[in-house]
Structure 1
């Protein structure tokens, strides 16, 4: 009987955690690049790389905290990990498109 009570308490705790996550800040739109900073596309791409790197570090720290027992927020750590993975995949796709565009420009006849 006590195992049923502990399972119910565990589920109640998870529901409270999900409720607190749902009441938190909504998904933020992607950062707009500062147009006043010089450097053009290179600076914009470097800024995007740094943002993805920061997300990777945040996800890594969240997973390490769960692994070491400092945090019991497994769902939050997994969400951070997925956000970092999606950001990295998107950055890779942008890099591939830029490389293809550069190759196309280089192949243009003069």
Structure 2
């Protein structure tokens, strides 16, 4: 029975060390908080939308002649916004579920 208890205690440490090794390999820093990651994702979507608006404006003014480039950029922008919206909806749903839990 003591061996089983020690395995339970060693399991999270083992898992944590594997996660830390994987983060080092792919270059993720631990200093980034959840809020920082969310704000950088939102900034990325906003940048994509501004690029889409700029390339659309350039196409309308005749500076950009590649319609496929314009359409792809608009789709990238649209998908980024839809993803952000769905993440927000899931977070709100999870928050509501937690708030409705009996204490």
Is TM (by shorter chain) over 0.5? yes
Q: Which of 39, 47, 69 pairs up with 2:33?
A: 39
List 4+ stretches of structure 1 deviating above 6 A.
none
> Is 1:93 the equivalent of 2:86?
yes
1:107 maps to which residue?
A: 100
Distance 2:70 2:31 in 1: 34
Partner of 1:64: 57
Could you tell me how far 1:109 is from its partner in structure 2? 1.2
Q: How many residues are treated as equivalent by the alignment?
A: 78
User: Could you list the runs of 5+ residues in structure 1 that have no partner in the other structure?
Assistant: 1-31
Match of 1:51 in 2: 44
- Structure whose alpha-carbon radius of gyration is higher: 2
Residue 83 of structure 1 pairs with residue 84 of structure 2: no
Distance between the aligned counterparts of 1:88 and 1:73, measured in 2?
23
